[in-house]
Chain A
Amino acid sequence: MKTDWVALTVFLFFFALVTAIGFVAARWRRAENAHHLDEWGLGGRSFGTVVSWFLLGGDLYTAYTFIAVPALVYAVGAAGFWAVPYTIIAWPLVFLFLPRLWSVARSKGYVTLADFARGRYGSKSVALAVAVTGIVATMPYIALQLVGIQAVLTTMHIGGSSGLGKDLPLLIAFAVLAAYTYSSGLRAPALIAFVKDTLIYIVIIVAIIYIPIRLGGYGHIFHDAATALAKTSPATGKPRGTMVSAPQAQVAYATLALGSAMALFMYPHSATGVMAAKDRLTVRRNLAIMPAYSLMLGLLLMLGFMAISAGVGKGVTGFDKNLAIPQLFQQMFPSWFAGVAFAAIGIGALVPAAIMSIAAANLFTRNIYKEFFKPDATAAQETKVAKLVSLVVKVGALGFVLGIDQSFSVNLQLLGGIWILQTFPAIVGGLFTRWFHRWGLLAGWAAGMAYGTYETYGLAAAGKPHSHFGDSKANIPWINHIGYIGITALALNVAVAVVLTLALRAIKSPEGTDETVPADYTADVDQTEHTPPVIAPVTT
C-alpha cells in the first residue's frame, strides 16, 4: 500500500496548527507571577466554564479512548459497551464530591490530590501513597496515547519499515509536544483542546451519518455484526462475542462501569483539570454539561460495529484490533476527510499526554521532591523541577512504547485503573469525613493494591496462555461472579480501613493534624472582589 498524500497533508496541516497554538499559549492570559507552580501547573487557576469544558473533555476522552474502546466493541460486541454506562454515571457521581475538592484545593492552595491527603490527615505516608499511585498509573496511560498516534501513523503508512525510521514520526511528534508543554504548561493543552474537540465532534457526527448510508443502514450493520460475532473464534474455541450482555457477564459489565467511574477523578490529570477551574460554580456547571462528551463516546462505539460490517480486518490473521477504527475511516471517507479524522485522533493524543505529564510532574514536585528532598524549595524552584519532570515522564512513556511490547502498556493501564481506584477511600472519604484513621487508610490502600496486583497477575490474555496481567476481571470471592477486580480490591481496602480505624481509635493512636476546617470544603472565590482573590466560606 502507498502513502495517502492528501490525508497526510491534511494531517500535517492540523499538526502544525496545534504546534503553533501550543507555543503561543504561553502568552495567553499571562500572570504577573509566572514562576509560581499554579501558573505552569494549573494555568493560573483561571479557567472559566468554556475553557474548562474543553480542557476536561480533551483530557478525559483520549486518543486511546477513540481507538481502543470501539476496538473492543469491534472485537467482542456488547461486552465492550460498558464504557457507556461508565461515562454516564461518572458525572452524577463526581457532582457529589468535586465541588468540595475544588474548594479545599483553592482555599489551601493544593495543587495535587496528594497535597490534599497530606493536609487532611497530616500524614506524609498517605500523601506519598497517593502520589506514587498517581504517577505509576499515569505513566502507562501516557504510553497508550502514543499507541493511539501510532495506530494512525501505521494506517497512513508513514515511517520507514525498520528500526529508527519506523519510530521517527512518533519521536518528532513527542519532541514537539514536550517542547510546548515545557514552555506553556497547562495553557497549551487547554487551547489545543478547542481544536481537538471541534475536530472530534465533526468527525463523529459525519461518521455516524455518512458511514451507515454507505453500509446500508443501521439494521444492516447490526445484522452483519451479529453474524460475525456468532462465529467461533479459532483462538478460544468460543463465539467471538455477543450482541447483548449475557447473564453471566452482567456483574462484570456493571462493576467495570462503576469502578471506572469511581476511578476517573482519582487520576492526577483529571484532578488537575478540575483544580484549574476559576471558581466553584464553574466546576459544578461543567459537571452538568460534561455529558455531551458521553453522547459522543456512545456514538463512537457504534463505529466498532460499522468496522465489522465494513469488513475491516476480515480474514487477516492476527489483525491488530486497534487499527479497526483508523482503517474504517480510511476505507469509508474520501482522503481529505480521512486526514481530518486522523488529525482528530492524533491531536486527541497530544492533549491528554500533555496534561498527564503535567499532572505527574506536579505530583512528583509537590509530594516527593519538596516533601522529602527540598522542603524549603521556592515556588520558582518548584516550577523548574516540574517542567523538567514533565520531560522525564514523556521520555519514560516513550520508552514504554518503543522498548516494551505494546500490549504490555495496555495491560499496565488496566492495572493502573485498579491501582488508582485504591486511593478513593482516602480522597473521597476525606472530602466528607475525618473518621478514617490515616494508618487504617494506608493499610487499606496497601491491601487493595496487593490484592489487585496479585489477582491480575494470574490472568492470562485471551489466546495467550501463561501470560500475565492480561485482563481486569476475575471471580469475586463469596459472590461467585466474574467482576471487575478493582471493585473487589476496593471492598477489601475499605474493610481493612474500617477495621483498623476502629482498632486504632480504641487504642487512641495519634490521628495526625487536620489543617482543613469545614468551611474550606465549601469555600468559593468571592466574585465581587478581584485581585487578590478572596476566599469566602459558603455553606452548601
Chain B
Amino acid sequence: MSDLPTRPLPLVTPVRVICAILLVAPFVALLWVNSYARLTPAFIGIPFFYWYQLMWVVLSALMTGLAYVLFTREEKQRKAFRAQVSHAQVPGGEGE
C-alpha cells in the first residue's frame, strides 16, 4: 500500500470486505447454537458448549481488533488523499 494514493478509494474496497467478514463471522458462529450444543470434547474438564463459546470471546476480540486496524489504516489513506486534493485545489476546500 503506497502512502500517497493517486485517486480516491471506492466505497467498497477489498479491505472493507475483509472487515465485514471479520465482523459478521461471530454472529454466524454463535447464533448457530446447534453447531456447538454438545458436551464433548471437554477441555480441562469444561464441556465443549462452554469452552467453545469462551474461545469465541477471544477469537471475536482478535477479529474485531484486526478489523479496527485494517479499517483505520485505510481511513488514514482516504484522509491523506483528501488532504492532498484540498491542498491542490481551494485552500480549506473538502473533497466529497
Contact = CB atoms under 8 A, between A and B. Distances in A.
Given A85-B53, A244-B37, A92 B42 contact: no
Nearest to A78: B49
B96 to A, nearest CB: 5
Contacts of B94: 536-537
Interface string B52-88: 0110111011011101100110010011001000000
B45 interface: yes
Interface in A185-206: none
A250 interface: yes
Interface in A216-251: 217-223, 243-247, 250
Interface residues of B, number: 41
A289 B64 CA distance: 8
- Give chain B's interface secondary structure class: helix
B31 interface: yes
Contacts of B38: 244
Contact of B46 (A84, A96, A222, A294): A222
Interface string A60-100: 00000000000000000010010011011101110110000
B72 A281 contact: yes
A424 interface: no
B72 A85 contact: no
A287 interface: yes
A254 B34 CA distance: 10
Given A85-B31, A243-B39, A247-B37, A287 B64 contact: yes
B58 A250 contact: no
Contacts of B79: 538
A88 B30 contact: yes
A11 interface: no
B64 A89 contact: no
A124 interface: no
A254 B44 contact: no
A218 B57 contact: no
A258 interface: yes
Interface in A281-300: 281, 284-285, 287-289, 291-292, 294-295, 298-299
Nearest to A295: B57
Interface string A274-286: 0000000100110
Nearest to A298: B54
B57 A294 contact: yes
B58 A295 contact: yes
B18 interface: no
A349 interface: no
Contacts of A284: 68, 71-72
A300 to B, nearest CB: 11
Nearest to A91: B64
Interface in A495-540: 536-540
10 contacts: A89-B27, A91-B60, A92-B63, A217-B44, A246-B37, A254-B30, A257-B30, A281-B72, A289-B61, A294-B60
